[in-house]
Amino acid sequence: MRLLLIHAKDFWFKAKEKAVENADELSDDIAEKHLENVLVVFTSVEEGDEKNIEVVVEKAANEILNVYKNVNAQAILVYPYAHLSQSLAPPGAAKKILNALADRLRSSIGVEKVYRAAFGWYKEFKLHCYGHPLSELSKTIKPVEEGARRTIEKKYYILTPDGKLVKPEEYEFKDDEFKVLVEKEVFRKEAEGGQGRVYQYLKKFGFEWEELSDRGHMRFEPHATVIFEAVSQYSWKTASSLGIPVFRVKGTNMFSLVAEPVRQHAELFGERMYEVRMDTDRFILRFAACYQQFSILKDWVLSYKDLPLGMFEVADSYRYEQSGELVLGFRLRRFHMPDLHILTKDLEEAKKIALLVRSKIVEEAKKIGREYLAIYNITEDFLKTNFDYIVELVKSEGRPVLVTVYPAGMYYWVINVEYVIIDELNRPREIATWQIDVGNAKRFNIKYVDENGNEKYPVIIHTAIIGSVERYIYMVFDTIAKKEKEGVPPTLPLWLSPIQVRVIPVSKEYLEYATQIAQKLLSYGIRVDVDDRDESLGKKIRDAGVEWIPYVIVVGEREVSTGTVNVRIRATGVQKSMNVEELIKMLEKELEGYPKIDMAMPIYVSKRPSLSYLQPVKSQ
């Protein structure tokens, strides 16, 4: 906060024209005033003041009262004046702080001696300053209380499937991965750094940092684009498979801090919010899809008969991570969250739906060969009143979980579950999540009408069933890296392979037949290309291996004469002859339940430039 204190012999002001949308409604006491022997406090509320209102108001009041007594003024006027700072707080926050400041001053010297000028209006004024040494003073108020630092009292336990709650230091570990997780979260033991094979895999398929952007922003080359789009579409399939109505929406990524619910929600995430400034306006880039979906839901007319219902968006999301903590494909400043919010009638219904969500999260990890560890973040009151339910959840996990207990009322949720893998370098990596939110419906004014005609606030489940798009891809590649250490050739699942089939003619004279086969496969939505380059057969097969292409078809004279194809299957190393219909049937079965994404490159390999990222991954 910036203060300019003028001891005025005579001061007059009058509000003329509204300057901001949420300006004060004019009344006689704030619209126009003529005062004598008054301490005029020209005040700019600055960015960050809203994070510690009590401290700012108390410090400012003490400074003002000290000057007021020293100059022997008869009254104080709190005068909003945005021109003292280029870093202003949102209007809603500024208005709240100015009102609090006036109230604090009144509590010290009396209501009849403290006045306030209208907030959010252009005003004209006349000023006659006394001109003595203390008649013109400036002050800067910092929103931080010296030596004070907010700490969160957290308690850690390990909860077993049979309902035993054990302190981490007393627990006997039988699972090495779980031990790694607990040591990291509770005892802050960090794994060694470095870049493993996942980093090399990501770069190999065209996932890169964008050097021309801010740090933590990725770009996607053609192969990466196909993988990204496949996972994005699949995330919608998983969200819509829970057996409840789900609505897919799209929205903006930028929200104004003038909006009170946005500001309040943003304060929970502090310095991790990504801000954009335009003139004097401040916006945040969304943390996930919450703001947009809540903005839509508050405008819907909802009945208890409509619930539960879900709303879904793959939301480009932003978190201002520290540059030293950024990890390609995992910890980013811009990422894509397949965010599902489920509205339920009350906490009991939310608890039932959460069981379905948990099962789906675990099921999706198992499909790619992973089993999650879990961190249960729980408020103290929810733990006490819902212990049996929490044990039921842990029984479903089938293994112990780490429980972090938070003070009641700190956040908008009562339980927040993180699902974690231990990656190839022995580091815990959070992937999927769900939480039960009891606060944001009221904050964003989302209501439904119950069976008795009463308006109620729903309880909201937040979940990203497969995690962010990028983290899901990270988990897929990490699974491949772990299998490769066991001697399994690195292979993407067919639905994620950028090129699913490559057709290689033995020579140019078989190019037409190769193209016919490719066109047939394309008609079924299978991503296929033709290696028509003037290279040896051996090199073409090796290059297909470098790209991890799951099915490689070689055609020559025998295939043309018999109307068959010779198929090499990467995952098994098997080579067999079959007709095209048999191949399509086999591919269709393997792709069942997964999205089909278009090619991102021309069908002929010769039409592509040499893609630098498609190189063999170096062995460790």
CA distance linking residue 155 with residue 405, whole number of Å: 5
**Quick check: bond before 308 cis, omega within 30?**
yes
What angle separates helix 469-485 from helix 197-204, to the nearest 10 degrees?
A: 120
Residue 619's pLDDT band (cuts 50, 70, 90): very low
Confidence grade of residue 620 (pLDDT, cut at 50, 70, 90): very low
- Interhelix angle 260-267/91-109, rounded to 10 degrees, is 80
Give me Rg for the CA atoms of the chain: 31
Sign of CA dihedral 49, 52, 58, 59: negative
The larger pLDDT score, comparing residue 324 to residue 501, is at 501
Average pLDDT over residues 538-558: 95
- CATH C-level class of 155-248+286-477: alpha beta
Least confident of 126-135, 264-273, 541-550, 563-572: 264-273
- Mean pLDDT in residue range 602-617: 77
Q: Strand pairing of 75-80 and 114-116?
A: parallel
Return d(Cα 285, Cα 320) in angstroms, integer: 10
**DSSP per-residue codes, 430-470:** EEEEEEEESSHHHHTT--EE-TTS-EEPPEEEEEETT--HH
The residue type at 376: Y
pLDDT at residue 385, as a whole number: 97
Query: Alpha carbon of 254 to those of 208, 283, 334, 404: distances in Å?
Result: 25, 6, 13, 32
- pLDDT, tens only, 441-493: 999 999 999 999 999 999 999 999 999 999 999 999 999 999 999 999 999 99
Structural element, H or E, at residue 481: helix 469-485
Q: How confident is the model at residue 611 (pLDDT cuts 50, 70, 90)?
A: low
Cβ(547)–Cβ(499) below 8 Å:
yes
How many C-beta atoms surround the C-beta of residue 178 within 10 A?
A: 21
What pLDDT is recorded for position 90?
84
**pLDDT above 90 for 509:** yes
Q: Are 528 and 501 in contact (CB under 8 A)?
A: yes
Q: Which among 543, 525, 512, 522 is positioned nearest to 605, based on CA atoms? A: 543
Residue 296, C-beta contacts closer than 8 angstroms, at least 6 positions apart: 249, 251, 311
Q: How far is CA 228 from each of CA 179, 206, 391, 478, 614, rounded to the nearest angstrom?
A: 32, 11, 36, 16, 17
> What is the number of alpha carbons within 13 Å of residue 265 lying toward its C-beta?
27
Domain range list for the chain: 2-140, 155-248+286-477, 494-607
> 512-549 b/e with 16+ CB inside 10 Å = b?
ebbbebbeebbeeebbbbbbbeeeeeeebbebbeebbb
Half-sphere exposure of residue 57, counting CA atoms within 13 Å on the CB side?
A: 21
CA distances from 32 to 11, 36, 129, 455 (A): 11, 14, 19, 41
**Residue partners of 108: CB distance under 8 A and separation at least 6:** 61, 65
Could you give the percent of the chain with pLDDT greater than 70? 96
Cα distance between residue 400 and residue 232, in whole Å: 31
Which of the four pLDDT bands, split at 50, 70 and 90, describes residue 612? low
Q: CA-to-CA distance for 336 and 566, rounded, in angstroms?
A: 40
pLDDT band at 282 (very low <50, low <70, confident <90, very high): confident
Start-to-end CA distance of the chain, whole Å, equals 56
Q: What is the identity of the amino acid at 257?
A: L
Among candidate residues 542, 513, 547, the one with its CA nearest the CA of residue 530: 513
79: which 2 tokens?
A: 């005068």
Q: Which residues pair with 262 in a beta bridge?
A: none
Looking from the CA of 281 toward its CB, the CA atoms found within 13 Å total: 11
* Top-level class of domain 2-140: alpha beta
How many DSSP H helices and E strands does the chain contain? Answer: 17, 28
Task: Please determine, looking at this structure, whether the domain spanning 494-607 carries the CATH number 3.30.559.10.
Answer: no
Q: Which residue has the tokens 């000290």?
A: 66
pLDDT of residue 411: 86
Looking at 72-135, list the stretches that DSSP marks H as alpha helix, in order from N- to C-terminal side: 91-109
| Spatial CB neighbours of 153, under 8 Å, sequence gap ≥ 6 | 407
Residue 3 confidence (pLDDT) above 90: yes
148-194: per-residue pLDDT in tens? 445 578 999 999 999 999 999 999 999 999 999 999 999 988 777 67
Q: How does 46-55 read in b/e, with b if 16+ C-beta sit within 10 Å?
A: bbebbbbbeb
pLDDT of residue 290: 94
Which amino acid is it at 348?
E
3-state secondary structure at position 72: coil
How many CB atoms are located within 10 Å of the residue 186 CB?
Answer: 18
d(Cα 424, Cα 485) in Å, to the nearest integer? 9
- What residues are paired with 6 via a beta bridge? 40, 136
Strand partners for 448:
456
Note the pLDDT tens digit of each residue in 311-364: 999 999 999 888 878 999 999 999 999 999 999 999 999 999 999 999 999 999
Tokens of 360: 């789906």
Give percent of the chain with pLDDT exceeding 90. Answer: 82
pLDDT digits (tens, 9 = 90+) for 390-429: 999 999 999 999 999 999 988 899 999 999 999 999 999 9
Sequence letter at residue 525: G
Which token pair is 62?
């003490």
- Written as six digits, the tokens of 241 are 């498979």
Give mean pLDDT, residues 540-553.
Answer: 95
pLDDT of residue 146: 45
- Summarize the confidence of residues 289-294 as an average pLDDT: 95
Q: Can you tell me the mean pLDDT for 429-450?
A: 96
pLDDT, tens digit, for every residue of 43-96?
999 988 888 899 999 999 999 998 999 899 999 999 999 999 888 888 888 999
Helix (H) or strand (E) holding 76: strand 75-80
Higher-confidence residue of 47 and 563: namely 563
- For residue 147, the model assigns a pLDDT of 41
Nearest residue to 300 (alpha-carbon basis) of 313, 311, 315: 311
How far is 45 from 78, CA to CA, in rounded Å? Answer: 12
Q: Mind listing the pLDDT tens digit for each residue in 210-262?
A: 999 999 999 999 999 999 999 999 999 999 999 999 999 999 999 988 888 88
Residue 289: Cβ-neighbour burial (10 angstroms; 0-12, 13-18, 19+): buried
Least confident of 9-23, 135-149, 377-391, 408-422: 135-149
